[in-house]
């Protein structure tokens, strides 16, 4: 009996299921290549719009390996590969794309060609022969076109530099004009502006400039009074003499408040009689 129990225990123990290890997840696909090899897989030419010039097309090809990583394929390996017809597809797509662009627009043409290639490869099944490839192109233009572009860029640079120079000159003239306008505007509102400018140029002649300013004021006042007397005389026959005589007091008072010394009225002037009656 003991031997039977032991055998049963052994049999049951051996029939216990063993936990299997979890299946390993497939390795993630390698990222797209960020660095382009120096030498292209192959090179060909393709006509630009109008067929007058041709682009030089540099093609880089990668093929996805069994592990999912993209491997660059140079031309030497591409020739030995039995499945190198991928270059014919690339050539056809790129030529059709470049015919829509001028030779003088290489940047736009290159961008369009790469977009057309990417779209075509994305539409292929990943398990198909063509679906395992990726391609990138870079364009070059003939030397004649480069010379024309350099001349064009030089002229544009000269025009842009000249325009900036003119703009800066105009801005400085505008600022100078504004300063001069403010100065002249202030000068128009001040009777001493001219003497102040002279004073800044000759600080050692303060007394002379001040005397000239006062003498000039006296001369102007005398001229004004003389003109006023003529007006009064002319208005005698128009019954405006009394109005003028009444206004003379206010006029001379205003001059005194301004600090302008007035000469005594002419003895023959009607204002002299008014001075004597005060």
pLDDT score of 137: 94
Lowest mean pLDDT of 101-105, 108-112, 270-274, name the range: 270-274
Task: Give yes or no: residues 48 and 127 share one domain.
Answer: yes
For residues 94 and 89, what is the distance between their CA atoms, to the nearest angstrom? Answer: 9
Is residue 162 scored above 70 in pLDDT?
yes
For residues 134 and 118, what is the distance between their CA atoms, to the nearest angstrom? Answer: 8
Task: Give yes or no: residues 60 and 119 share one domain.
Answer: yes
Q: Is residue 273 part of a domain?
A: yes
Do 48 and 102 touch, CB atoms closer than 8 A? yes
Other Cβ atoms closer than 10 A to 131:
14
pLDDT band at 258 (very low <50, low <70, confident <90, very high): low
For residues 74 and 264, what is the distance between their CA atoms, to the nearest angstrom? Answer: 113
Is residue 253 scored above 50 in pLDDT?
yes
Task: Give yes or no: residues 131 and 154 share one domain.
Answer: no
Is residue 4 scored above 90 in pLDDT?
no
> What residues make up the domain containing 251?
210-277
Identify which of 70, 93, 92, 76 has the alpha carbon closest to the alpha carbon of residue 39.
76
For residues 130 and 151, what is the distance between their CA atoms, to the nearest angstrom? Answer: 43
Q: Which long-range contacts (CB under 8 A, 24 or more apart) does 6-15 make?
A: none
Task: Give yes or no: residues 134 and 97 share one domain.
Answer: yes
Domain boundary among 123, 154, 189: 189
Task: Give yes or no: residues 172 and 249 share one domain.
Answer: no
Strand residues in the chain grouped as ranges (E): 42-47, 54-64, 70-72, 133-140
Cβ within 8 Å of residue 106, ≥6 positions away: 55, 139, 140, 141
For residues 211 and 191, what is the distance between their CA atoms, to the nearest angstrom? Answer: 14
> Helix or strand or coil: residue 256?
helix
Q: Is residue 177 part of a domain?
A: yes
CATH number at residue 76: 3.30.479
pLDDT score of 191: 66
pLDDT score of 263: 67
Do 160 and 168 touch, CB atoms closer than 8 A? no
Domain boundary among 154, 189, 224: 189
pLDDT score of 141: 95
The winner for highest mean pLDDT among 110-119, 199-208, 247-256 is: 110-119
pLDDT score of 5: 43
Q: Is residue 198 part of a domain?
A: no
Q: Is residue 153 part of a domain?
A: yes
For residues 260 and 257, what is the distance between their CA atoms, to the nearest angstrom? Answer: 8
pLDDT score of 239: 57
Task: Give yes or no: residues 47 and 134 share one domain.
Answer: yes
Task: Give yes or no: residues 135 and 56 share one domain.
Answer: yes
Instruction: Give how many domains the chain has, as a whole number.
Output: 3
Is residue 265 scored above 90 in pLDDT?
no
Q: Is residue 7 part of a domain?
A: no
The winner for highest mean pLDDT among 2-11, 28-37, 188-197 is: 188-197
Q: Is residue 168 part of a domain?
A: yes
Is residue 114 scored above 80 in pLDDT?
yes
64-92 pLDDT, tens digit each: 777 777 777 776 666 666 556 788 889 99
pLDDT band at 178 (very low <50, low <70, confident <90, very high): confident
Is residue 206 scored above 80 in pLDDT?
no
> For the chain, what percent of residues have pLDDT higher than 70?
62
Q: Is residue 267 part of a domain?
A: yes
In which element (H, E) is residue 141 found?
A: none
Q: Is residue 149 part of a domain?
A: yes
């Amino acid at each position: 009996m003991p031997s039977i129990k032991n055998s049963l225990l052994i049999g049951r123990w051996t029939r216990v299921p063993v936990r299997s290890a979890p299946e390993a997840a497939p390795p993630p696909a390698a990222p797209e290549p960020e660095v382009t090899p120096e030498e292209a897989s192959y090179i060909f030419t393709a006509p630009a719009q109008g067929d007058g010039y041709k682009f030089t097309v540099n093609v880089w090809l990668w093929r996805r390996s069994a592990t999912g990583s993209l491997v660059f394929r140079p031309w030497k390996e591409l020739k030995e590969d039995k499945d190198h017809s991928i270059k014919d597809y690339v050539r056809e797509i790129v030529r059709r794309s470049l015919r829509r662009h001028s030779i003088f627009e290489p940047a736009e043409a290159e961008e369009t060609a790469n977009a057309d290639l990417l779209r075509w490869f994305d539409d292929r099944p990943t398990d198909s022969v063509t679906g395992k490839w990726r391609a990138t192109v870079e364009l070059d233009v003939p030397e004649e076109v480069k010379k024309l572009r350099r001349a064009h860029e030089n002229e544009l640079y000269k025009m842009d530099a000249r325009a900036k120079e003119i703009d800066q000159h105009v801005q400085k003239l505008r600022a100078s004009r504004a300063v001069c306008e403010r100065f002249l505007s202030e000068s128009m509102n001040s009777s001493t502006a001219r003497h102040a400018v002279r004073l800044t140029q000759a600080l050692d002649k303060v007394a002379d400039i001040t005397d000239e300013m006062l003498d000039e004021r006296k001369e102007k006042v005398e001229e004004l009074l003389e003109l006023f007397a003529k007006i009064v005389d002319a208005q005698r026959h128009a019954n405006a003499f009394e109005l003028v005589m009444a206004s003379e007091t206010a006029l001379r008072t205003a001059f005194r408040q301004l600090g302008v010394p007035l000469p005594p009225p002419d003895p023959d002037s009607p204002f002299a009689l008014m001075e004597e009656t005060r």
